[in-house]
Amino acid sequence: MMNELNWKRIFAVAGILGVISGVIPMFFTPDLLVSTLPVAMMFAIYFIVQRVEKRRFTHGIIGSILAAVISYAVYAIYVYARYGSVDGNTLLLNAVKQLPMLVVIISVFGTFIFTKTHEWTEKKRAELDAKVAAKKANEERAKVKDKHSKVDKPFVPHATAKRYRNTKKKKKK
């Protein structure tokens, strides 16, 4: 199980998005973590599920939870540095009360949705590729068949709406 997971991708995506999600509240308001965290988790799921071949659901859940943990850690460091331990504890306790259920819901349902839509898209793409390949094969077969069946056919003039009228005068004898 452990060797099948793409840890490099999980750590890279979750780390980058977790840090971004934890840093954004520094510039606006500390309560913004509740808004930035779900977005970072959804992007983490999206970027991870699209690139892995096996165990997409597991990769997505681990990546989204890791993004949430990293984001919360960056946020905690910022809150303690900025507000001190008394106000920091209050802000962190509010975040701890609000986030766990949000993290679980987004991790499970977001990963399920992204995994199923990605599998559906791959299935439809494979069907379309098979259709295109069959069409090309039929066209190639038809070209080979037409190539051999076109033996110098005689020229047949097509009828026209205008009738040819002889304008030459006959010679009298």
Residues of the chain with pLDDT > 90: what percent? 2
**Residue written as tokens 């750590």?**
11
First to last CA, the chain: 110
**What residue segments make up the domains of the chain, in order of their start?**
2-115
Task: Let me know if 80 is exposed, middle or buried by CB neighbors in 10 A (0-12, 13-18, 19+).
Answer: middle
Name the token pair of 119: 């599998």
User: Rounded CA gap, 45 and 11, in Å?
Assistant: 12
Name the token pair of 81: 């540095």
| pTM for this entry | 0.63
Name the token pair of 94: 């509010």
Band (pLDDT 50/70/90 cuts) for residue 146 is low
Cα 132 to Cα 8, 58, 118, 129, 139: the distances in Å are 36, 33, 21, 5, 11
Looking at residue 107, what DSSP letter applies? I
What size, in residues, is the chain?
A: 173
Taking all residues of the chain, what is their mean pLDDT, rounded to a whole number?
77
**Residue written as tokens 């309560």?**
31
| pLDDT, tens digit, 9 for 90 and up, residues 59-109 | 888 888 888 888 888 888 877 777 777 777 777 777 777 777 778 888 888
**Residue written as tokens 């510039």?**
27
Task: Let me know if 60 is exposed, middle or buried by CB neighbors in 10 A (0-12, 13-18, 19+).
Answer: buried
